[in-house]
Structure 1
Amino acid sequence: MKHAQDEKTSSVYEVENDLTLVVSPADQIDLEKLATTPSQHYRMDRLETIPTNMDAASILDPVNIEYYDDIPDGGYGWFVALAGFLSNFVMFGTISIWGVFSNAFATGILEGKATTVELMGIGSTALACLNLMTPFNPMLARFGTRIITFGGSVLMSLGLILAGFSTEVWHLYLTQGVLFGCGASLVYMSVVAVIPQWFTTKRGAAMGISSAGTGIGGLALSPMASSLISKYGIPWAYRIIGLMAFAICMVTTALIRARLPPPPMNEKIKSPIKLFMLKDVDFVIWLFGAVISLTGYMVPLFYLPKYGASIGLDQGTTSNLVGICCAMNAVGRLALGWVGDKIGRLNMYIISCTIAGLLCCLLWKFATTYETLLAFSITWGLVCGLYFALAPPITGNIVGIERISPGLSLLFVTSSISAVGPPIASAIQKATPQQDYIGVQMFAGAVYLFGALICFGLKIKMTRSLTSLI
């Protein structure tokens, strides 16, 4: 083991293979490549975080570099980004407002026919199908982006429309759960695969526009769904939203355009799951931390309408709170994602999960009025969903650029486990005396805090420093 540091150096690197790197603050370091050096450990007192373009599109195998020689970095690509905005508006906006529909079902069509655990499982099933199918969607790329987007749009819209005919809880599992979730997965990967083909330096802005549809969708669809349910009932609310979703997704299908040719039809299909990645201890620790913290994400979103009703708020008010929470979620992903580039993405993720957990345990517990519940919706919404912005680049920093595709594949598959959060919270509430919400609140906060603690342990293991930027 060698160890070196000169008077102008602020960082020390220790390597087990007798290689010593001495880097001055002015030098540029490719940290993601450095992290892939075999048998390497490093300690950094201060580390500059290098911005990357890693996102869900990185799950795709690299294509021939010659196709990137003339990327317009804009042009028609802004219409593709708009297509991403519209698709996220429908996909994640609908998933985020399941709490509004579940509360309506519990007091309407399925009253006495379905437990809270069963109802919460429907929204979780949709989210699980979206995540679980994502790594396998690149295997369909040979059929072309528009065909896949159209097929996914039909499945999503059909899932919502058929959900309006549901009279039993298992009908909803098949329609809004499996059918909608699988269709959303097809559309999601089509969009995130195409946007990077149009951008280089402006890729972050384009992906930001696309992801903003998530928050705007929840903000718009939550009060819309509540209003439609109160005026026309659950069946017609589903049909109207389903037809609207189909119209929006047809615009998405018309706008989306790939620059790169699809893989040949006779190309051998490769499995996106590489189990050798589980030999990387740091990566396995990251999977545990990410999945556990993400388990608390959907619990407050799904429970806000039900909890709001328990403290005397009307359905319209609670749906507005869900919309505000979704809007702040979008703001937080952009703003705190930018902060993460400055202070370290893993650091930012640990901080956001810690704050989200404390808010669930402390503020939500005492939010017994509209004003305090509004404060919780704003603050928790700001920090709750940073996983979706930071998980891909954090994964890239841990496993390296060369293994980002199988790394993200495993991350998406394992993250589907986090969908058990709402059903577990429901079971805890059922076992709580008088079915109080304290168990739900403490559970959501505890998994956030436990996930943050695991990620903090990973930071210490990787850097051997409390103050390093990673």
Structure 2
Amino acid sequence: MDLRAFPRTFIPNPLFDSMESPHSLNTTATATASIELHARPRANINSPDESSESNAENNSPSRRYQMLLLLSGFMTIFQIIGINGVFGIFQDFYTSEDSNIPSARGNDALVALVGTLGSGLTWSGGIFVNPIQARVESVKLVTFAGAAIMSLGLLLASFSSALWQLFLTQGLLYGVGSSLYYFPIMTIAPTYFDRHRGFAMGCILSGAGIGGLVMAPILQVLLDKYGVRGALRILSAWNLGVAIPIAWVIRRRPGFDGMGNGANTRINMVLVKRGTFLYQAFGAFLQAAGNVIPLYYMTSYSTSVLSYPRATGSLLLAVNSAVNSVARIGMGVLADGVGRQNTMICSAFLAALSVFALWYNAARERFIVFVVMYGIYAGGYNALVPTTITDIYGVENYARVNGSIYFIRGLGSLLGAPIAGLILGTHKRGGSAATSVIAGMQLRQRYDHVVVYDGLLLLCAGMCVAYVRWLDARDKGGWKWKA
């Protein structure tokens, strides 16, 4: 087999879905298989194995540097996924009567668009960031520039007094910066681990769940104690302070083509015309749109409909994030036994079922069950997207398809929550007791409409995934129960 036939670009799984975003040990182990095929030094691709191993040993990084890289990657994911995942807390504040932005009060649709613009650009921006990395000599500069732009967006958001200013700061600037911050270390880190690459990347990606778990209660404390302006400024300073040592640590591994050639990430028309790609892309779009809605409206539903205090709403969001992180690993283990596509299909349908059965007209007890169960089921789809891409299209097409699918997922996450906000409509909280009861009943009915919209998105995504499973079996000439 000629290894030169395989692409040299690796694009990591950026979602962790979550809302995005998408991370697990199983995902990483399979997705990084393409790196193992082409991560050796270029000069040794056609040389004997003994020569390759000798040169690899000469270029072997120290254990100390590998530990620093693991810590840096963990903190990068902790920061970006953690902040993305808790925007629902910001949304609950911006749309409340205590908001510092009058035009945002009760306007969930536009406020949600701010958050989805930031998180959507985090993932979709990879299609532009990866070619930039391939052409820029210093990845330290790209990483630090991204973190600085991200922190600048948060800082300027603290001075915002109108919604359009939030769009430019906590939306656009934040999203561009987080994408530049995220991709360098996630592209380079796998090249520094030869024998334990899956474990190493699993350690890095574990920052996703822990970030959401830690960030939610901390952000709520900051909002309660210092207000939204103070919270944003502290978050901005903390993010930049963490980024400086990360940017200092990251560098390309000498002799390893970890960044690849930007041309190899471009999808070709032969793949686009395949029914599997079209339906998988459509399913990815629908799932990303539906997946982000509970994350954005979980906190506001807790406080507005169920009358929980904001601290409890933040805690429920943190619990969902923690469960989701553990579930991704568990779903990955299950997928190895019963098949990745099979597990992905079940995950998509069960996520839709949990929305319909547990969130619709939910009282407190049933809503808590929904928070946990949705965290379990939604984690499966997000974790298994890259592994199914490899299974369906082959390692040689992984970079092309993965980059395109996650660009489309970024677009889906951009649109899901704002449309849910339009369905919810503007609403005023508080008032007299009688008015509050009537308003609460009306608001619960509106949320039920949002739940139906969200459930339909996830259900249609499950149908697309199931149809891709059937198309893939047909194209490969036969049905296998484990796939």
TM bracket (short chain): 0.7 to 0.9
Give the letter aligned to residue 442 of structure 2: Q
Q: Out of 202, 211, 219, which is 2:196 matched to?
A: 202
Q: Out of 434, 448, 451, which is 1:438 matched to?
A: 448
Please say if 1:178 is aligned against 2:134: no
Give the equivalent residue in structure 1 for 2:118: 126
Counterpart mapping for 1:366-385 below 5 A: 366-369=361-364, 371-385=365-379
The 1:51/1:390 distance shift into structure 2, 3 A limit, reads closer
Q: Out of 87, 111, 120, which is 2:76 matched to?
A: 87
Q: Distance in 2 between matches of 1:305 and 1:206?
A: 33
Please say if 1:100 is aligned against 2:54: no
Give the equivalent residue in structure 2 for 1:272: 265
Q: Distance in 2 between matches of 1:469 and 1:145?
A: 41
Q: Distance in 2 between matches of 1:357 and 1:457?
A: 17
- Residue 358 of structure 1 deviates from its aligned partner by 0.8
Please say if 1:249 is aligned against 2:235: no
The 1:308/1:264 distance shift into structure 2, 3 A limit, reads closer
More displaced 10-residue stretch of structure 1: 86-95 or 285-294: 285-294
Q: Distance in 2 between matches of 1:182 and 1:59?
A: 26
Q: Verify the 8 A CA contact 2:31 2:390 in the aligned structure 1.
A: no
SS class of match (2:144): helix
TM-superposition CA deviations, 1:142-182 (whole Å, max 9, x none): 33221211111111111111111111111111111111111
SS class of match (1:468): coil
Give the letter aligned to residue 356 of structure 1: A
Q: Distance in 1 between matches of 2:225 and 2:379?
A: 32
Q: Distance in 2 between matches of 1:145 and 1:350?
A: 38
Q: Distance in 1 between matches of 2:291 and 2:360?
A: 16
Please say if 1:150 is aligned against 2:144: yes
Q: Distance in 2 between matches of 1:264 and 1:229?
A: 41
Q: Distance in 1 between matches of 2:154 and 2:35?
A: 28
Give the letter aligned to residue 95 of structure 2: A
TM-superposition CA deviations, 1:328-364 (whole Å, max 9, x none): 1111112212221222111111111111111111111
- Residue 293 of structure 1 deviates from its aligned partner by 1.6
Q: Out of 204, 212, 220, which is 1:218 matched to?
A: 212
Q: Distance in 1 between matches of 2:407 and 2:280?
A: 14
Q: Distance in 2 between matches of 1:401 and 1:210?
A: 22
TM-superposition CA deviations, 1:195-251 (whole Å, max 9, x none): 211223422211111111111111111111111111111100100111111112223
The 1:135/1:112 distance shift into structure 2, 3 A limit, reads closer
The 1:55/1:161 distance shift into structure 2, 3 A limit, reads farther
Q: Which runs of 5+ in 2 are unaligned?
A: 1-5, 7-25, 46-51, 428-440
TM-superposition CA deviations, 1:84-124 (whole Å, max 9, x none): 11011110111111110111111211244452100010111
Q: Verify the 8 A CA contact 1:56 1:192 in the aligned structure 2.
A: no
TM-score (normalised: structure 2) = 0.80
TM-superposition CA deviations, 1:124-145 (whole Å, max 9, x none): 1012211221022222223322
Q: Distance in 1 between matches of 2:197 and 2:264?
A: 28
Give the equivalent residue in structure 1 for 2:333: 338
Identity %: 27
Please say if 1:55 is aligned against 2:12: no
Give the equivalent residue in structure 2 for 1:292: 286
Give the letter aligned to residue 333 of structure 1: R
Q: Distance in 1 between matches of 2:61 and 2:262?
A: 31
Q: Distance in 1 between matches of 2:229 and 2:267?
A: 43
Please say if 1:78 is aligned against 2:67: yes
Q: Verify the 8 A CA contact 2:191 2:256 in the aligned structure 1.
A: no
Counterpart mapping for 1:267-416 below 5 A: 270=263, 272-276=265-269, 277-309=271-303, 310-369=305-364, 371-416=365-410
TM-superposition CA deviations, 1:23-68 (whole Å, max 9, x none): xxxxxxxxxx9xxxxxxxxxxxxxxxx9983438969995645497
Give the letter aligned to residue 265 of structure 2: P
Give the letter aligned to residue 338 of structure 1: V
The 1:51/1:289 distance shift into structure 2, 3 A limit, reads closer
The 1:146/1:399 distance shift into structure 2, 3 A limit, reads same
SS class of match (1:386): helix
Q: Distance in 2 between matches of 1:376 and 1:393?
A: 27
| Larger proportion of helix | 2
The 1:55/1:79 distance shift into structure 2, 3 A limit, reads farther
Give the letter aligned to residue 450 of structure 1: C
TM-score (normalised: structure 1) = 0.82
Give the equivalent residue in structure 2 for 1:7: none
Give the equivalent residue in structure 1 for 2:100: 109
Q: Out of 464, 467, 475, which is 1:457 matched to?
A: 467
The number of aligned residues is 420
Q: Distance in 2 between matches of 1:156 and 1:235?
A: 16
The 1:95/1:168 distance shift into structure 2, 3 A limit, reads same
Q: Verify the 8 A CA contact 1:106 1:116 in the aligned structure 2.
A: yes
Give the equivalent residue in structure 2 for 1:5: none
Please say if 1:232 is aligned against 2:208: no
Give the letter aligned to residue 109 of structure 1: N
Q: Verify the 8 A CA contact 1:59 1:404 in the aligned structure 2.
A: no
Q: Which runs of 5+ in 1 are unaligned?
A: 1-32, 34-49
Q: Verify the 8 A CA contact 2:150 2:175 in the aligned structure 1.
A: yes
